[in-house]
């Protein structure tokens, strides 16, 4: 198993061009801006570990360099991208930020539309979560502190694989014990489906309800943290409000954080060092993970 230690270039050199990268505000350069300072974190990254046969079945594991003080939580994070784009390498800043909190972190890739439709990427979510639960101990993680997390489409996947029992059942392996779910700007209750590609990936129409995490809430679901920006025009904050309300109705502890000035990407961007001041996402996650299992 290979591992790489954070970078060779000096921190001063890397940060010199950071302001210019942030100022561009566009996709690839924005990820570069987020990830440059993440290279220098006090963690070890174990890249491109296979969790299945497909080339997309690869994941990175981030482990803090400091010895664990008490049980070390294990988090699995799925990236967003409309279920059709994105790569784990773009989210090194997420692994670095969560490792900074003392967590072991797994960031998987998964098959995208239109290579697969649902349930293909959901099957990948179950497979990656099971790999993490089975191997987390090798990285010093405590299996009793196992959390699933995602942003946007990744938050949908984290919630749905947790709530709809069919995905873990299909693997013929015992479902992992999930201590909590953390969703950033996630779609959880988004019918009707209006865009042709989304209709296709979740179709045929009689299967559309199966795509909605809100339809699978049950009383024994793990507690959840839902973070959303009220200026999000990509995924309406009503998704988080709706899921929180249904969880509450079923007696499931839920923490709902709605931030007035955040847009869709801000909730995850706030995990990066350059954008840490945008929102207290990292503090929200740390407080949620510290809570006892029965707390909301």
Q: What is the pLDDT of residues 224-254, one digit of tens each?
A: 999 999 999 999 999 999 999 999 999 999 9
95 vs 122: CA distance, rounded Å? 22
C-alpha dihedral (21, 24, 27, 28), degrees to nearest 10? -40
Here the tokens at position 189 are 């209750």
Which tops the pLDDT comparison, 32 or 205? 205
pLDDT at residue 21 is higher than 80: no
Domain locations in the chain as residue ranges: 11-290
Q: What is the residue-averaged pLDDT of the chain?
A: 90
Over residues 131-153, mean pLDDT: 96
Using alpha carbons, select from 233, 235, 232, 162 the residue that is nearest to residue 198.
235
Over residues 81-86, mean pLDDT: 96
Check if the beta carbon of residue 296 is closer than 8 Å to that of residue 247. Answer: no
How is domain 11-290 classified at the CATH fold level?
Rossmann fold (3.40.50)
Using alpha carbons, select from 66, 84, 135 the residue that is nearest to residue 106.
135
DSSP secondary-structure letter at 210?
A: G
Check if the beta carbon of residue 96 is closer than 8 Å to that of residue 43. Answer: yes
Task: Tell me what pLDDT residue 240 has.
Answer: 98
Angle between helices 120-135 and 153-163 (to 10 degrees): 70
**What distance, in Å, lies between the first and last C-alpha atoms of the chain?**
38
Percent of the chain residues past pLDDT 90, beyond the cut = 81
Task: Tell me what pLDDT residue 69 has.
Answer: 84
Check if the beta carbon of residue 58 is closer than 8 Å to that of residue 51. Answer: yes
pLDDT at residue 85 is higher than 90: yes
Task: Tell me what pLDDT residue 62 has.
Answer: 98
Give the burial string for 149-158 (b: 16+ CB within 10 Å, else e): bbbbbbbbbb
């Amino acid at each position: 198993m290979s591992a790489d230690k954070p970078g060779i270039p000096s921190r001063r050199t890397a940060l010199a061009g950071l302001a210019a990268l942030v100022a561009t505000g566009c996709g690839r350069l924005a990820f570069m801006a987020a990830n440059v300072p993440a290279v220098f974190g006090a963690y070890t990254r174990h890249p491109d570990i296979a969790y299945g046969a497909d080339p997309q079945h690869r994941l990175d594991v981030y482990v803090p360099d400091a010895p664990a003080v008490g049980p070390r939580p294990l988090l699995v994070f799925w990236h967003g991208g409309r279920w059709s784009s994105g790569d784990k390498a773009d989210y090194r800043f997420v692994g670095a930020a969560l490792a900074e909190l003392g967590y072991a972190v797994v960031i998987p890739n998964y098959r995208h539309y239109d290579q697969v439709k649902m349930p293909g990427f959901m099957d990948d979510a179950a497979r990656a979560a099971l790999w993490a639960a089975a191997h987390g101990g090798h990285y010093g993680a405590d299996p009793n502190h196992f959390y699933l997390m995602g942003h946007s489409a990744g938050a949908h996947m984290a919630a749905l694989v947790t709530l709809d029992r069919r995905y873990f059942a299909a693997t013929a392996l015992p479902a992992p014990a999930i201590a909590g779910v953390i969703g950033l700007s996630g779609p959880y209750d988004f019918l009707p489906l209006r865009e042709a590609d989304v209709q296709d990936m979740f179709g045929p129409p009689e299967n559309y309800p199966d795509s909605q995490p809100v339809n699978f809430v049950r009383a024994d679901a793990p507690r959840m943290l839902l973070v959303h920006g009220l200026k999000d025009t990509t995924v309406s904050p009503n998704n988080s409000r709706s899921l929180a309300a249904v969880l509450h109705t079923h007696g499931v502890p839920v923490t709902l954080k709605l931030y007035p000035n955040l847009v869709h990407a801000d909730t995850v961007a706030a995990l990066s060092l350059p954008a840490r001041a945008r929102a207290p996402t990292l503090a929200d996650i740390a407080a949620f993970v510290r809570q006892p299992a029965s707390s909301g």
